[in-house]
Amino acid sequence: MTPDSGDLRVFGKNPAMSGMLHQKRIGYIFQDEHIEKEIPLSVMDVISVGRMGMRGIFKRLNKIDKYAIETAMKEVGIYTLKDRPAGFLSGGEQRKVSIAREISREVEIVLLDEILMNLDPVSQMEINNLISKIYRKYELTIIFVTHLLHYLPDGINRIIALKDGKVFWEGKPHELNIAILTELYGCPKEALKRYVGTFKI
């Protein structure tokens, strides 16, 4: 990863220099991790991918890996699905698969890129609760990228609003108000109020 300008530091070091060492400490869930319906892989198979990179080439996954994968599945509540074909999972279950994969890797930072997209409201809440639970239990640093301001997980420490590639606003959740959002999105206050509705500000 090379920045367009400036200096990039992860864990106090330039990631371009330390490469793989950092990769093992950082988890990533992509915006679109849709699993193709006909894929001949089980839920267990796709979650194992996280540990595969950790184990390295020429090595099989061992008992420790299996234990980590099964624990992660139980943690997100999909252990009973472990032998199911991965392509038949619902959107919410697919998200849980991705979360289990990153937990099993025992990472320190997880980047979640708009993971609530394309989910129904119940699943969105469920995933949010799961993220809060994992955050409290594992004490990970979670970076949660979202546009859904009315669905934020509990326990957020800091909000950073980006506009045109720059930090526009930064603060605690209770400091965020409709005036800041109006300026951030450049749209009328009324429309925003209707959108965020239940959002306590």
Residues within the interface to other proteins (CB under 8 A): 20, 23-24, 27-28, 30, 33, 35, 37-42, 45-46, 49-50, 52-55, 57-58, 60-61, 85-86, 88, 98, 101, 105
Q: Which SS3 state, helix, strand or coil, does residue 151 take?
A: coil
- The nearer residue to other proteins, 20 or 167, going by C-beta atoms, is 20
Q: What is the smallest separation between the CB atom of 82 and other proteins, expressed in angstroms?
A: 13
Please say whether the beta carbons of 92 and 60 come within 8 A: no
Q: What is the smallest separation between the CB atom of 167 and other proteins, expressed in angstroms?
A: 25
- Cα–Cα distance between 82 and 43 in angstroms, integer? 5
Q: What is the smallest separation between the CB atom of 142 and other proteins, expressed in angstroms?
A: 16
CB neighbours of 188 closer than 8 A, spacing ≥ 6? Answer: 182
Q: How many CB atoms lie within 10 A of CB 135?
A: 19
Record the tokens describing residue 97, joined without a space: 């698969």
- The nearer residue to other proteins, 140 or 152, going by C-beta atoms, is 140
- Cα–Cα distance between 152 and 39 in angstroms, integer? 32
Task: Give the long-range contacts of residues 194-198, CB within 8 A, separation 24 or more.
Answer: 195/149, 195/150, 196/149, 196/150, 197/150, 198/150
Amino acid identity at 197: G
- The nearer residue to other proteins, 94 or 128, going by C-beta atoms, is 94
Q: What is the smallest separation between the CB atom of 106 and other proteins, expressed in angstroms?
A: 12
- The nearer residue to other proteins, 60 or 194, going by C-beta atoms, is 60
- The nearer residue to other proteins, 86 or 149, going by C-beta atoms, is 86
Q: How many CB atoms lie within 10 A of CB 44?
A: 18
Q: Which helix (H) or strand (E) element contains residue 138?
A: helix 121-138
Q: What is the smallest separation between the CB atom of 58 and other proteins, expressed in angstroms?
A: 7
- The nearer residue to other proteins, 24 or 137, going by C-beta atoms, is 24
Q: What is the smallest separation between the CB atom of 54 and other proteins, expressed in angstroms?
A: 6
